[in-house]
Amino acid sequence: MAATVLNLMFASCSVDRYIPEGRHMLTDVKVMCDEDEVMKTYMLGDYVTQNTNTKWFGAKVPLKIYALSGTDTTKNICHFFRKLGEAPVLYDSLKAQKTMGDIKQVLGNAGYMKASVDEIKIEKGKKVKVLYNVHPNERYTIRHIQRTVEDEGLRHFITVEDTARSLLKRGNPFDVNTLNAERNRIASYLRNNGYYKFNKEDVRFSADTARNSTEVDILVKVKLHQGDGRTAATSHKRYTIGSVNFLADVNSADALVDSLQYNGYNFLYQDHLHFRKRLLISNTMIRPGNLYNDSYFKRTYTNFTRLPAISFSSINITERPGTDTIDCNIIVNHAKPHSFGFDVEATNSAGDLGAAISTSYQNKNLFKGSETFTFKIRGAYEAITGLEGYDGNNYVELGAEATLGFPAFLLPYVKREWGTLHHASSEIALQYNMQNRPEFQRRVLTAAWRYKWSSKSQHIQHRFDLLEVNYVYMPWISKTFKEQYLDSLGKTNAILKYNYENLLITKLGYTYSFNSLGAREQTFGKNAYTVRFNIETSGNVLNALTHLANGKRNSNGQYTFCGIAFAQYVRGDFEYSKSIRIDINNSVAFHGALGIAYPYGNSNQLPFEKRYFAGGANSVRGWSVRSLGPGKYNGRDKGINFLNQSGDIKLDLSLEYRTKLFWKFSGAAFVDAGNIWTIREYKDQPGGEFHFNTFLEQIAVSYGIGLRMDANFFIVRFDAGMKAINPAYTGREHYPITHPNFDRDFAFHFAVGMPF
């Protein structure tokens, strides 16, 4: 009823009265092209200068809000609605001409020299629709390439050594963008081979087309060094690196400094040197006596910017007068090594609201090699409600974590230069967590050694967990909890019992991540995709050692190490996300994830920490966190569903339409599908086992809308989901989309960051 009233109110507010006489409101803009491939390749729709009013999920809601303002501008309500809404977009012929000119220029630069654009206007009353009909026509191609080099010293480089790398090939399309790329490539090639002062402007192109032909002859001309324009042109000099000087915390030329030499480098510093000399040398690719290489200078600067111990870095070059030698001054200033942090947060990890406090200390230069040491202490408290038969109702958690990161790949037989080139790092971590609940006490000790590195292009990220050991220790379990859930005849839960026993997990894993835009780029609202793959295993080495030592099994039939049972499993995860940009305000995103974990050998089931869960802010959003599955399982005992609603296989699929609303707010409409399953049949999870002939029927589906606020450094997200297909039920309740029940089918989620 409310929606009907709102629609009638909007419908009654015509926008025609806000359109001046003789003007037209732009209601639709389309770009059509004779060749679909040209349209997609050059994204011609992006060159439309004037678009229609903003749409929210396909409706011009801001325009409707503006129409509520009325025409009396003296009223405050008028100013309010006009500020909140959006005025009608009035057709502008100058902007239309600019759109056609930009499209023709883009296609002309791509070799479509005779491209044309027709503007078709369809007027109806005070409104107009515009269609830009694009005709690329025939594309020009390269017939012949000639290279002329005025500098004899460069002639061999350009006409002999470099021709195989050239981007210009006979028969290729004549493309101005390719010419610019070729100019940059030649300049980069020469600057990486000692020609420090070579400029891309020294490369000129001229093109000649024959009459009644679409073939082009190209002349590539490399000029002499032009200097400052007041002197005669000269041959290009090939420069050699002279001295390389590190100026560490030297803030002025008049400062009193100390100096020393090490491995051919000079170090100048005030008071004392805050860095190990090896750190600075290993992160520079500039070597005394080598030819100047522009890419090495850029990589050196990048290397220093990633070191947490350095707050500022720059490279200055000085030419020795009358010579072909240059000296380099690398300026580095140290960052404040010590920092402290303090956080207060709300928690609900035990099912009830509580609070947590954490404090941290960080040293960014522990051993003067930009090693990062972090120590964090966290404490949490929650008052648990709804428990009967237990002594106390408090949940207390205390934890401590220490990590030590090295800006290098600490592995034998791996050159330090390789680690620097790939931005490699190594990390040691030690963590202790203590949980005291009325039902049990739990201790977890974790130790890890891991490596991270990336590709030269920064599109690919690698992580290798050489070893991660988790020791789970249960010092105390309440008598009530044991009687009700662990040992009670007829009610013994195998999954629950397994996860309340002492356990050792020794993980070995590898993670591969790819971002088509680059590791640090956000794919939100862009044409981009990401891929992530992870595989990990546990217990294989311990299993082999216990067999070699003729180890004995415990009462549960498991081998033990130092008296502790160890987990043995393999787990693999794959994720793919794709973002498709529709226009500046709208995009569509897809996400798919598949995970499979298999316990074997010393384990009949997975540890709780390694099992899959469904539902929540980043899964099927019609369900609350950890409340879906496995399969068609419908939990009865709410006290232990957090364990029973877990599985060995997970499938997640999401399709989300995203639109810009106003200010920092964006909206989304989404459809999610997925579920979890178990590999084996467990009596405590009836209907949860995966079968190829039934799993499609057990896929849950939900739909909903979301609101996002971009707070610059992070995104705050609110999602509201409704169940559409519920595999836990049969009959009419299996399809709640046809008869939704808000109390039963609704789930609200608050999160930081995008779901994918």
pLDDT digits (tens, 9 = 90+) for 106-119: 999 999 999 999 99
* pLDDT tens digits, one per residue of 141-154: 999 999 999 988 88
Are 633 and 710 part of one and the same domain?
Answer: yes
Question: What would the mean pLDDT of 469-493 be, rounded to a whole number?
Answer: 78
Are 256 and 172 part of one and the same domain?
Answer: no
Cβ contact 187:200 at 8 Å: yes
Are 744 and 670 part of one and the same domain?
Answer: yes
Are 257 and 175 part of one and the same domain?
Answer: no
Phi-psi region at 289: left, alpha or beta (left = phi > 0; alpha = psi -120 to 50): left
491 has a pLDDT exceeding 60:
no
What does the pLDDT read at residue 347? 64
Model confidence band, residue 639 (pLDDT cutoffs 50, 70, 90): low
What does the pLDDT read at residue 636? 59
Are 12 and 118 part of one and the same domain?
Answer: yes
Are 127 and 147 part of one and the same domain?
Answer: no
Q: Is residue 627 part of a domain?
A: yes
Share of the chain above pLDDT 90, in %: 64
* Count of structural domains, the chain: 4
385 has a pLDDT exceeding 80:
no
Are 160 and 111 part of one and the same domain?
Answer: no
497 has a pLDDT exceeding 80:
no
What does the pLDDT read at residue 12? 44
Report the candidate in 188, 391, 213, 383 with the shortest Cα–Cα distance to residue 294. 188
Among 23-27, 306-310, 494-498, name the one with the lowest average pLDDT. Answer: 494-498
For residues 387 and 35, the model is more confident at 35
What tokens appear for 414 in the block? Answer: 């791996």
- Single-letter amino acid, residue 450: R
What tokens appear for 8 in the block? Answer: 């009638």
Among 359-363, 487-491, 535-539, 546-550, name the one with the lowest average pLDDT. Answer: 487-491
Report the candidate in 571, 570, 588, 755 with the shortest Cα–Cα distance to residue 674. 755
Three-state DSSP class for residue 186: helix
What does the pLDDT read at residue 4? 42
Q: Is residue 488 part of a domain?
A: no
* pLDDT tens digits, one per residue of 298-330: 999 999 999 999 999 999 999 999 899 999 999
Are 215 and 265 part of one and the same domain?
Answer: no
Question: What would the mean pLDDT of 265-272 be, rounded to a whole number?
Answer: 92
What does the pLDDT read at residue 167? 92
Please say which residue of 300, 334, 368 terminates a domain: 334
For the stretch 392-395, contacts whose Cβ atoms lie closer than 8 Å and that sit 24 or more positions apart, written own/partner, are: 392/438, 393/438, 394/436, 394/438, 395/349, 395/350, 395/352, 395/354, 395/435, 395/436, 395/437, 395/438
What does the pLDDT read at residue 479? 85
Number of helices (H), then strands (E), belonging to the chain: the values are 15, 29
Domain range for 122 is 2-53+88-135
Q: Is residue 212 part of a domain?
A: yes
156 has a pLDDT exceeding 90:
no
What does the pLDDT read at residue 186? 94
For residues 161 and 285, the model is more confident at 285
Tell me how far the alpha carbon of residue 683 is from its chain's centroid.
Answer: 40
What does the pLDDT read at residue 488? 56
Are 6 and 101 part of one and the same domain?
Answer: yes
* pLDDT tens digits, one per residue of 413-455: 887 778 888 889 999 999 999 999 888 899 999 999 999 999 8
What does the pLDDT read at residue 6? 43
The answer to whether the bond into 727 is cis (omega within 30° of 0) is no
Question: What would the mean pLDDT of 233-242 be, rounded to a whole number?
Answer: 93
For the stretch 78-86, contacts whose Cβ atoms lie closer than 8 Å and that sit 24 or more positions apart, written own/partner, are: 84/662, 86/53, 86/54, 86/62
* pLDDT tens digits, one per residue of 68-107: 888 778 888 888 888 888 999 999 999 999 999 999 999 9
Question: What would the mean pLDDT of 275-283 be, rounded to a whole number?
Answer: 94
Are 646 and 741 part of one and the same domain?
Answer: yes
Report the candidate in 279, 472, 268 with the shortest Cα–Cα distance to residue 366. 279
| pLDDT, averaged across the chain | 89
Kindly give, in sequence order, each residue whose CB lies less than 8 Å from that of residue 501, ignoring residues fewer than 6 positions away: 474, 556, 565
Kindly give, in sequence order, each residue whose CB lies less than 8 Å from that of residue 387, ignoring residues fewer than 6 positions away: 393, 438, 439
For residue 305, which phi and psi values (nearest 5 degrees)? -70, -25
Question: What would the mean pLDDT of 602-606 be, rounded to a whole number?
Answer: 90
Q: How many residues does the chain have?
A: 756
3 has a pLDDT exceeding 50:
no
Q: Is residue 47 part of a domain?
A: yes
Question: What would the mean pLDDT of 721-748 be, rounded to a whole number?
Answer: 92
CATH of the domain at 13: 3.10.20.310
Share of the chain above pLDDT 70, in %: 94
What tokens appear for 49 in the block? Answer: 């200068």
Q: What is the DSSP string of 549-567?
A: TTPPB-TTS-BEETTEEB-
Model confidence band, residue 349 (pLDDT cutoffs 50, 70, 90): low
Are 117 and 40 part of one and the same domain?
Answer: yes
